[in-house]
Structure 1
Amino acid sequence: MTTSKTVLLLKNKTEGNDRYDVLFKEKGYNPKFIPLIKHTHLPQELLHLIADESYLKNLRYIVVTSQRTVECINEQILPQLTDKQKQLLFDKVVYTVGPTTASYLERSGFKNIKGGHEAGNGDILSDIIVSDLSSNNKDNMHEILLLVGKIRRDIIPKKLNDNGFSIKEVIVYETDTLKDNCENFQATLEDNCWVVVFSPQGIDDILEYIKQNNILTNHKIQIAAIGPTTEKFLNQNGIYEMIVSPKPDAHSLLNEIERHSKHET
């Protein structure tokens, strides 16, 4: 099969230098972003917590699982903090999923970031946190601040609670599905292109369109999934032929597409 160099990325393009955009263009691909959801920041509860200097001083561990959380911190939280509060916040240990979010946190000013490359999903990150903090009984007694979206999975809080850790969940953003996702997908679709699915959210109409119109065969598109959760969702919805990026980052996805393309030829 002759594969197009167009890659449809079903995600919002990250502000600044989106790593998927940069890396795929460097390799001669034509990345096109199709946003499926919109994000709204909800900073009030977190601002209220951080404004309490006693709480901020005693806080030791923060868990961040999404770039949306970092965007909320950068755009809504940091501009309202004093220099002293910023320094106290940046000194916290931050556990995060994936290298992209870890890099984003580092650029924001956080200094002690764990997980990242080693934590491809929330389950792995939970194991890292349990391993790190269980080695010191004093650490086990500190409350962990978990910054989440309104729609989230409960893997991390469940595993941490099961291991005796105290969790405080604070919602810092919410997401809503855009209404014209399928129309945008149809307008952007090309024969022989790659379609990269990052999340189950906002993709239902697109999947129905793909199945009802036999798009995989008629347009010879190829599907790539970011991680096992998205792969499982696609399988449950009748999509089985795909590649799966071993890690949720641009390098891993690009390498898997390149490897598959070479095998096909």
Structure 2
Amino acid sequence: MTSPTPSTPILLLKTKSSPADSYEEYFSAHNYTPTFIPVLEHHFHTQNLSTVKQLFQSGSLTPGPGRKYGGLIFTSQRAVEGFATILRDIDVLYTVGPATSRSLVSIRDEHLPHATVLGEETGSGENLAHFILSHYNGLYETEGGKPPLLFLVGEQRRDVIPKTLMAGSLAPGRRIGVEELVVYETGVMEGFEESFAAAVRAGEGFLAGGLERAVWVVVFSPTGCDAMLRVLKGLADGERRVFIATIGPTTRDHLRKYGFEADVCAEKPSQEGVGMGIERFMEHWRRNRTEQ
């Protein structure tokens, strides 16, 4: 009887979602062994979250004459978690990517039954900004006094959304005001480098079983990339068989600042996007090995 093909180790540099994690479910079903290695520590900005709560209480975020903002923008699950602590009522929520959208939808279903979550399929801040330009301006084609949007962010973020929505190249009537409010702060989790190094060493035992084997690392954020690369540079010399996949172009471009080119950049920021990119890479890699 032929022995089953051993599952490929895949190191997911993120905190495991609860009660279920879609990355664990997907990769376990596709002959991988997922290991979660948390990278980020998050601290909510309580003062600014209190400001958001006050906006709700005053009616500044709800339809009516006292409305100050016409909707909220989210590009991270941490911002959603902070937002969950102060919910009451709102009707438009923009979000980027399926993971953040799922988190927001679960909160919406419980607390905001009349709100609409939009932007799940956009996949990047730039795409989301163009979607908002089309959708939000469409809401106010026949109305005056278009209110700005409130963007709940971490202290580390790109400015592509506000720049795109408020670009000077847009006609004045097309521009959308954006106000950013920092609701969480992020840092590298203590002990991450040691945990990652231990996981890589464990993966070396798998690599010893055959030259066609590989270990994968999936990077979800620029935070911690320098620590990750220090560990990888400490591996033994020889053919590299620990490969890197990024959740999207922001993290890929950050790695380039360290002189490292990711092996895979997911076309869509999802478990399917990462998985399909890895499979295409491995098919090409194994084909090249057999031809040599």
1:46 to 52, 66, 83: 52
Cα distance in 2 for partners of 1:6, 1:264 equals 17
> Given the two structures, how large is their TM-score scaled by the length of structure 1?
0.86
- Equivalenced residues, count: 251
Q: Secondary structure at the match of 2:62?
A: helix
C-alpha distance in structure 2 between counterparts of 1:184 and 1:35, whole Å? 9
Contact map agreement 2:246 2:262 (CA 8 A) in 1: no
Contact 2:61–2:70 under 8 Å retained in 1: no
Task: Tell me what 1:156 maps to.
Answer: 161
Q: Does 1:253 align with 2:253?
A: no
Distance 1:139 1:156, change over 3 A: farther
**TM superposition shift of 1:73:** 2.3
Unaligned runs of 5+ in 1: 79-85
Residue 102 of structure 2 corresponds to residue 73 of structure 1: no
Please tell me whether the aligned partners of residues 225 and 255 of structure 2 are also in contact (alpha carbons under 8 angstroms).
no
1:218 Cα deviation after fit: 5.8
Q: Among 96, 112, 116, which residue is 2:116 paired with?
A: 112
CA displacement at 1:60 relative to structure 2: 2.7
Q: Which has the higher helix share?
A: 1
Structure-2 change in CA distance of 1:139 and 1:254 (3 Å) = farther
Sequence identity percentage: 34
Stretches of 4+ aligned residues off by more than 4 angstroms: 214-219
Matched, 1:8 2:11: yes
Quote the RMSD (CA, aligned, Å).
2.3
Query: Hey, what's the Cα distance between the residues in 2 that align with 1:106 and 1:236?
Result: 35
In the TM superposition, what whole-angstrom CA distance separates every residue of 1:86-125 from its partner, at most 9, and x where no partner exists? Answer: 3x32xx22111101111221111254111111x1110111
From 215, 218, 232, the equivalent of 1:196 is: 218
Say which structure, 1 or 2, has more relative contact order (CA 8 Å, 6+ apart): 1
SS of residue in 2 equivalent to 1:208:
helix
CA shift, 1:193, in A, is 1.0
Per-residue deviation, 1:222: 1.1
Partner of 1:100: 99
Structure 2 portions without partners, runs of 5+: 205-213, 287-292
Matching residue of 1:37 = 40
Change (3 A) 1:182 1:150: same
Output the amino acid matched with 1:261: M
Identify which range, 3-12 or 20-29, moves more after superposition: 3-12
TM-score (norm 2): 0.78
Per-residue CA deviations over 1:6-35 (Å, capped at 9, x if unaligned) read 100111222221111111112231111111
Pair member with larger Rg: 2
CA 1:3–1:235: 2 relative to 1, 3 Å: farther
Alpha-carbon offset, residue 240 of structure 1: 2.1
Alignment counterpart, residue 176 of structure 1, candidates 158, 171, 187: 187
Aligned 1:135-154 pairs, distance under 5 A: 135=138, 136-137=140-141, 138=143, 141-154=146-159
SS of structure 2 residue aligned to 1:239:
coil
CA distance in 2, matches of 1:129, 1:217: 48
